[in-house]
Structure 1
Amino acid sequence: MSLFHTLAVYGREARTQILSTWRTPQFLIPSLALPLLFYGVIGLGLSHGHEEAAHAMLANYVIFASIAPAMFGFGAAVAAEREAKLIELKQIAPLPAGAYLLGRLAAALALVGLAVGLLGVMAYFGGVVMTPWRWAATLSLGLVSAVLFALIGLNLGLRLGSQGATAFANLLFLAFCLFGGLWIPLDVMPSWIGHIAEVTPSYHLGQLSLMLSGLKPMADVQGHLSVLVAIAVAAVIGSRIAWRRQAA
């Protein structure tokens, strides 16, 4: 198969997965509505007149907006398709290895990109002020974050049934938001929660987002990145092992 035909197959698979996501309102609407509703009510409503609070919540909510589409798109959705033997069909079909997974990732990124973009629009008209490069860096980090959460979700989807994957995805979603400090600042919570936060990807991504948005000085960036890289590598290895077992 030529490179052109290979890319065409990848493109068609990505288009199929994106269309499938858009045609699933029970997944699409909550994924978009939750971060927008939370930020509109809490970030802009309750912090009206306090631009810094709305600014800080935007930095956290771009990470929050990336978790659900990635975790559930790769967790519950992959588990359901695996139970229906659709993944086995994909694996034996004349389809390049990884086209299905990249298609799923494309669908998740499209949804996260829309959610993050709408958050940015709300924040801009809500009075949040940043330089253009900080806007771009903050919103882009939210989009890139989806890749890591998708890898975590993929591990769930390839190992658990649809109900188990949904339950664990919900549990991790809540844990990442709460213990990562995305909903409530860690400095007003018990100290033991801060220790848990240090092993969650959402905490480190949130800290980087606050730095990129200009609310915190650029400090210990290497430490945050090291933890994120370690989590990503572990998730890739785990996904690869589970995918091979699925194909066996």
Structure 2
Amino acid sequence: MSTPAVASAQPSRLRIHALEARNESLRMLRSPMFVFPTLMFPLLFYVMFGLLLNHGNAKAATYLYVSYGVFGTLGTSLFGFGVSVANERNLGHLLYKRALPMPPSAYLIAKLAMAMLFATIISISLFVLATTLGGVHVTAMQFAELLLTNVLGVLPLAALGLYIGTRVPANGAPAVINLVYLPMSLLSGLWMPLSTMPPFISKIAMALPPWHLAQIAFKVVGYDSGQPLWLHVAVLAAFTIVFFLLAQRRLQRNG
């Protein structure tokens, strides 16, 4: 007679995932070392390059509004996964999580939810700056499409961050992430159009996931380089699957 009562007292899988996502998001929001670079860098760069250096140039302000949205998604995905996973491996938190009576997927989904929250905050903040101070004009539909692109763009970039976090030691993770984050941003055309760089840079960019994500975002405002949407989506999907599988294999092997 007591079995149904015990079963009904157990929290649902949805509630477990929601609580884990909430706690992870609050933990990262309370971490200045994570909040400042991930939230403030895209906004500060946009103010400097999109508003001050290109004052009155609506086209440049629009380009940088879109590109810094992807830049923010890249940062929150790499640091939110790469550095935090490396630290948690070092502290033994991953082994502790495995011992808890919670679905194994809760850990990963919580981090994805956290990264998507930060991507949303960055996207909305850039929109406010761009439309109020930068002279940028986008429709409500365009804003929604850009927001959705950045939020879903967390998936392939987080896969890369997760893989790095499973490979590097905790004390070396920030340096490794920066060695990936900054050059990848530049080579993907997130700081300036690739047309202003040597031609070989464009060939390198096509192998980088942020470039494909940026091209999807640029399509929304008509600034893309003309490749079909399905190509960018296919590359990002393949990148997501490959690096999540590599990271999963690494975690199963070493924890």
Short-chain TM bin? over 0.9
How do 1:160-175 and structure 2 match up within 5 A? 160-175=168-183
How do 1:20-39 and structure 2 match up within 5 A? 20-39=27-46
1:183 equivalenced with 2:217 (yes/no): no
Q: Which amino acid aligns with 2:254?
A: Q
1:48 aligns with 55
What 5-or-longer segments of structure 2 have no aligned partner?
1-6
Q: Which amino acid aligns with 2:235?
A: V
Q: Any idea what the Cα deviations from partners look like across 1:174-196, whole Å, max 9, x if unmatched?
A: 12201101112111111121111
Match of 2:223 among 215, 219, 226: 215
User: For the residues of structure 1 that align with 2:200 and 2:223, how far apart are their CA atoms?
Assistant: 24
1:244 aligns with 252
CA drift of 1:30 comes to 2.0
User: For the residues of structure 1 that align with 2:225 and 2:159, how far apart are their CA atoms?
Assistant: 29
Contact 1:186 1:194 in 2 (8 A): yes
1:142 aligns with 150
User: For the residues of structure 2 that align with 1:217 and 1:187, how far apart are their CA atoms?
Assistant: 10
User: For the residues of structure 2 that align with 1:217 and 1:133, how far apart are their CA atoms?
Assistant: 21
Match of 1:95 among 95, 102, 111: 102
CA drift of 1:228 comes to 1.4
Q: Which amino acid aligns with 1:186?
A: L
How do 1:225-240 and structure 2 match up within 5 A? 225-240=233-248
Match of 1:158 among 166, 178, 190: 166
1:195 equivalenced with 2:195 (yes/no): no
Q: Any idea what the Cα deviations from partners look like across 1:201-235, whole Å, max 9, x if unmatched?
A: 11111111111123348642222222212211211
Secondary structure at the residue paired with 2:12?
helix
Q: Which amino acid aligns with 2:201?
A: I
Contact 1:74 1:157 in 2 (8 A): yes
User: For the residues of structure 2 that align with 1:147 and 1:217, how far apart are their CA atoms?
Assistant: 23
Q: Which amino acid aligns with 2:94?
A: I
Whichever of the two has the greater Rg, that structure is 2
How do 1:61-76 and structure 2 match up within 5 A? 61-76=68-83
CA drift of 1:139 comes to 2.3
Q: Any idea what the Cα deviations from partners look like across 1:49-96, whole Å, max 9, x if unmatched?
A: 111111111111110011111101100111101110011000121111
User: For the residues of structure 2 that align with 1:12 and 1:224, how far apart are their CA atoms?
Assistant: 34
Aligned Cα RMSD in Å? Answer: 1.7
Q: Which amino acid aligns with 1:177?
A: S
